[in-house]
Structure 1
Amino acid sequence: MHFSIPETEVRSDENGSTYVAYNIHVNGVLHCRVRYSQLLGLHEQIKKEYGNNVVPAFPPKKIFTLTPVEVDQRREQLEKYMQAVRQDPILGSSEMFNSFLRKAQQETQKIPTEEVQLEIYLSNGQKVKVNILTSDQTEDVLEAVASKLDLPDELVGYFSLFLVQERGDGGCTYVRKLQEFELPYVSITSLHSPDYRIILRKSYWDTAYDSDVMEDRVGLNLLYAQTVSDIERGWILVNKEQHRQLKSLQEKGSKKEFIRLAQTLKYYGYIKFDPCITDFPEKGCHVIVGAGNNELNFHVKLPSDQMKEGSFKVTRMRCWRVTSSQVPVANGTANPSSSSKCDVKLELAFEYLMSKDRLQWVTITSPQAIMMSICLQSMVDELMVKKSGGSIKKQMQKKRQNGSFQRSDSQQAVKSPPLLDSPDPSREQVVKLSTKLSSVSLRGLSSSNSASDISSNDFHGNYSFEGIGDDDL
């Protein structure tokens, strides 16, 4: 997640006194407004809990009123502080930090704590209405949905809540995975748009986990509905013969067989992003990026209109970063600190091992850059858990060993999606146009050049990623 403080505001408190508010943005969207004293209080709590050696530097107090230049300097310092805390594996995941952000989000949006009904969507468009508190965090809402659907406790961790935006063409854009530091009701309400929805979707990448989910009736129905939806929207590629087989299985009600066949299809389990721009293999290339199978898949349109396809394995990425910048809108001003309207430009850049001795930076410019980064991070986390002998089920069992979530009496069934429509002929044309880039360019290493040829110390990232080679998978 990308934390920034791009702006400040002069506001008045209940007594009429003015103060400077620092607007904390997450993924380029306002999350909360806080005062310097609030952040100082958080800093002091963190110091008391974790010690001075762990806590990053905090901008000092000033005796006199700050000048505009000093306010902007403090804004930059506080932004670096928030980023440092969030990136720290201990501080960034601490309940102290997350609860601070949740409380600040609720206070900023001025939404009182009360009982409300929140609509959560499934992949087939079905709505699940859950009764929650406005102050319930993401995990609370996820468990409420699981309770309504009668999904077993041990399978809750296989799913997550995602914020998506419905498009005019019937498609949807995945904005982000809802995080532990936010309140889903407040997040969706503060957007003030009916185009946004919260969707329940599986949150793992290893298809081997499908077997765990399919052991349960509700889990099977959720996975089946998602698979049908991904095929319908073109995220999973299906030819005419495969479509005939899938439709036959669907008519028979053979959901497990349907999913197992879908697992063999191209891009099963991938999340597809909106068309964007990349500098690989040439600057200014239009690209459709997909995340899945521990890789970022590129479907690139070159300036010559030639279509090419290839993948970047997460195990070949040395590190990655997300950067944001403010771009003035037309007739605006180039001064990002002014009150003029600015658009946020997001870029995901990763350093990739193209060959045994050659690293190269690849950049994607997309409003979904942070969502792509979250996907990469979750792939790495999953690989690390698997490498240590763990699993999602073991994590959930450990987490819930002190008690399970109380189930309500009214469960809601997951409806089966309608039969598959015929495959889009234009989609098949895209597949025919696609040609593989050479292993030296987009594919990176050939099979003879494995990551084990390089010292594991050369593979370290900014996101808890060290020394995972293909031979570790």
Structure 2
Amino acid sequence: MHFSIPDTQESKDENGTTYTCFNVHINGVFHCSVRYRQFHHFHEQLKKEFGSSILPPFPPKKLLALNSSQLEERRVMLERYIQIISQDATVCSSDTFNGFLLNAQQETAQEDPEAVSLDVFLMNGHKISVNILSTDQTEDVLENVASHIELADDFVYYFGLYLVKKEDGGDNSIVRKLQEFESPYISLRAANKEDSHRIVLRKSYWDPAFDDDLLEDRIAMNLLYVQAVSDIERQWTFATKDQLKQLTALQVKGSKREYLRFARTLKYYGFIQFRPCLTDYPEHNSRLLLSAGNKELNFRIQISSDQVKEGSFRITRMRCWRITTAGPENGDSDKRQSNSLSKLEIAFEYLVAKDTLKWITVQSDQAILISMCLQSMVDELIMKKQGKRIKRPQDRVKGSKYSYLKKNASSHQTDSSKQSVSGESDDHSAITKAVDSMKKISDKLSNVSMKRGANETGITENDAFEGIGDDDL
């Protein structure tokens, strides 16, 4: 995850007293605004739960009001603090950590729990409506959707909820995967203030071998089928004319399982494709079509109007990667807040030969999404090497209580065993209709600072990095 606190804002309490809030951005998107004392209360809770030895220094309290330079120093220290604790897998998976961010989002959005209907879409546009609480977090909503379509518990977390933007050309581009510490309802409402977005259910793993776990389950297989058809139609997965004829024949026969097995043999199956961007490889300002999947980044570089050069970069050969952004100077807060992500760059250090590392840079407004894809591919690779499996709903720890300090200093007690509003179960018709309509890598991980303004760089180290041996040369 990419945490930053790029700026602050002044607010007033019910008595008219002015106070400062720190604007927290996660994965390049504004998430919440938090007072210093809320951060301090959060820090004290973490100390009780995990001890002070694993926590970084916390910016000290001050008796007098802060001047501008002291406020900036506090902002930087708080930013560094949350970046460091988010590197600890135990801390960032705890109810205290996720509960703090979830409640802060709810308070910032001024959202009280209420029963609402949320539309979740499949990749072919089919809509599944579920009844939830407006403040339900992502995993509660995902489990609600899975229950609604009667997806087996073993396969729930093979899928994820993604925020998707409707482009001018009618296509949909993935913005990001929704995280546990946010409310999909609030996040969708915030995103739709600027553009047309929707929440989409799609598989959340990278290794095609995981398909084998799902092919014998009708509901899970149908979800895979819907996505495979969509990815082929939008040319994220490449098929020749002859291959398309074979796929069409399988569709006509209703042979979904055979369709999926054949689709798995196609180029870029299971890849996410990003919007056209630029790279400095092999030369500056090369036009690039970038996609991620199968433990690699795939480059298709436009050499000329009729010539494309293709190459792949394996994640196990990436020693690290970083994100940089250029924008207005720190003092220009208004410009910082309105600055777009078009100047974002992601660069990775690649082992091109034995003892030879080379930085390769991509300029893309989807740099954070690219980074998150790299990280999740590494997470999955590490998980498989450790012999672990994709979690199930019963693996979630529920029932713990934690305290959230509001901006007005009142305390809010939250119970993680809270259940969502249940929707009526109507068998598996949602999936049937859709078909017919056709890290936590390790403690060494560094999170990227997304401070807008000055050029800021963060490095993500890759524990799946492997050296090149003599046999590879």
Instruction: State the TM-score, normalized to the length of structure 1.
Output: 0.84
Distance 1:416 1:190, change over 3 A: closer
Partner in structure 1 of residue 11 of structure 2: 11
CA contact (8 A) 1:147 1:408 kept: no
Task: Report the Cα distance in structure 2 between the residues aligned to 1:266 and 1:391, rounded to whole angstroms.
Answer: 26
Task: Report the Cα distance in structure 1 between the residues aligned to 2:88 and 2:339, rounded to whole angstroms.
Answer: 30
Cα drift, residue 338 of structure 1 = 2.9
Which letter maps to 2:226? A
Give the 5 Å matches for 1:61-460: 61-191=61-191, 192-193=193-194, 195-302=196-303, 306-325=307-326, 327-328=327-328, 334-340=329-335, 341-344=338-341, 345-392=343-390, 395-396=391-392, 399=395, 408-411=424-427, 412-414=429-431, 415-417=433-435
CA contact (8 A) 1:336 1:342 kept: no
Q: Say which SS state the counterpart of residue 339 (structure 1) adopts.
A: helix
CA contact (8 A) 1:7 1:337 kept: no
Residues 338-389 of structure 1: per-residue CA shift (max 9 Å, x gap): 3233234322221111001101111222221121112111211211122122
Distance 1:235 1:470, change over 3 A: farther
Which letter maps to 1:253? G
CA contact (8 A) 2:137 2:180 kept: yes
Q: Say which SS state the counterpart of residue 282 (structure 1) adopts.
A: coil
Task: Report the Cα distance in structure 2 between the residues aligned to 1:121 and 1:416, rounded to whole angstroms.
Answer: 10
Cα drift, residue 204 of structure 1 = 0.9
Q: Say which SS state the counterpart of residue 237 (structure 2) adopts.
A: coil
Task: Report the Cα distance in structure 1 between the residues aligned to 2:397 and 2:32, rounded to whole angstroms.
Answer: 34
Which letter maps to 1:342? N
Residues 306-339 of structure 1: per-residue CA shift (max 9 Å, x gap): 52110100111112223344x24xxxxx455432
Task: Report the Cα distance in structure 2 between the residues aligned to 1:114 and 1:137, rounded to whole angstroms.
Answer: 13
Cα drift, residue 408 of structure 1 = 5.0
CA contact (8 A) 1:285 1:303 kept: no
Task: Report the Cα distance in structure 2 between the residues aligned to 1:51 and 1:125, rounded to whole angstroms.
Answer: 48
Which letter maps to 1:150? E
Task: Report the Cα distance in structure 1 between the residues aligned to 2:340 and 2:172, rounded to whole angstroms.
Answer: 21
Which letter maps to 1:109? A
Residues 119-159 of structure 1: per-residue CA shift (max 9 Å, x gap): 00001100000100111111000001101111000010110
Distance 1:336 1:386, change over 3 A: same
Which letter maps to 2:334? S
Partner in structure 2 of residue 435 of structure 1: none
Which letter maps to 2:348? F
Task: Report the Cα distance in structure 2 between the residues aligned to 1:49 and 1:66, rounded to whole angstroms.
Answer: 30
Task: Report the Cα distance in structure 1 between the residues aligned to 2:195 and 2:288, rounded to whole angstroms.
Answer: 28
CA contact (8 A) 2:316 2:464 kept: no
Which letter maps to 2:125? G
Task: Report the Cα distance in structure 1 between the residues aligned to 2:334 and 2:423, rounded to whole angstroms.
Answer: 49
Q: Say which SS state the counterpart of residue 30 (structure 2) adopts.
A: strand
Q: Say which SS state the counterpart of residue 281 (structure 2) adopts.
A: coil
CA contact (8 A) 1:123 1:200 kept: yes
Which letter maps to 1:410? D
Task: Report the Cα distance in structure 2 between the residues aligned to 1:72 and 1:353, rounded to whole angstroms.
Answer: 38
CA contact (8 A) 2:354 2:468 kept: no
Residues 6-40 of structure 1: per-residue CA shift (max 9 Å, x gap): 11111101121100111111222210000011001
Aligned pair partner of 2:463 in 459, 462, 465: 465
Cα drift, residue 277 of structure 1 = 1.7
CA contact (8 A) 2:119 2:129 kept: yes
Cα drift, residue 163 of structure 1 = 0.7
Which letter maps to 1:10? E
Task: Report the Cα distance in structure 2 between the residues aligned to 1:139 and 1:388, rounded to whole angstroms.
Answer: 24
What fraction of aligned residue pairs are identical, expressed as a percent? 51
Task: Report the Cα distance in structure 2 between the residues aligned to 1:206 and 1:469, rounded to whole angstroms.
Answer: 22
Distance 1:470 1:227, change over 3 A: farther
Partner in structure 2 of residue 434 of structure 1: none
Cα drift, residue 407 of structure 1 = 8.8
Q: Say which SS state the counterpart of residue 9 (structure 1) adopts.
A: strand
Task: Report the Cα distance in structure 1 between the residues aligned to 2:330 and 2:103, rounded to whole angstroms.
Answer: 32
Task: Report the Cα distance in structure 2 between the residues aligned to 1:113 and 1:463, rounded to whole angstroms.
Answer: 39
CA contact (8 A) 1:274 1:288 kept: yes
Which letter maps to 1:153? D
Q: Say which SS state the counterpart of residue 53 (structure 1) adopts.
A: helix
Q: Say which SS state the counterpart of residue 225 (structure 1) adopts.
A: helix
Q: Say which SS state the counterpart of residue 90 (structure 1) adopts.
A: helix
Task: Report the Cα distance in structure 2 between the residues aligned to 1:52 and 1:402, rounded to whole angstroms.
Answer: 25
CA contact (8 A) 1:6 1:23 kept: yes
Q: Say which SS state the counterpart of residue 30 (structure 1) adopts.
A: strand
Structure 1 window deviating more from structure 2 (89-98 vs 9-18): it is 89-98
Residues 402-425 of structure 1: per-residue CA shift (max 9 Å, x gap): 9999995323431245788xxxxx
Q: How many residues align?
A: 425
Distance 1:419 1:240, change over 3 A: farther
Task: Report the Cα distance in structure 2 between the residues aligned to 1:70 and 1:388, rounded to whole angstroms.
Answer: 45
Task: Report the Cα distance in structure 1 between the residues aligned to 2:331 and 2:308, rounded to whole angstroms.
Answer: 37
Task: Report the Cα distance in structure 2 between the residues aligned to 1:336 and 1:402, rounded to whole angstroms.
Answer: 44
Greater RCO (CA < 8 Å, at least 6 residues apart): 2
Cα drift, residue 79 of structure 1 = 1.0
Distance 1:377 1:223, change over 3 A: same
Distance 1:129 1:260, change over 3 A: same
Distance 1:277 1:467, change over 3 A: closer
Cα drift, residue 44 of structure 1 = 1.2
CA contact (8 A) 2:143 2:393 kept: no
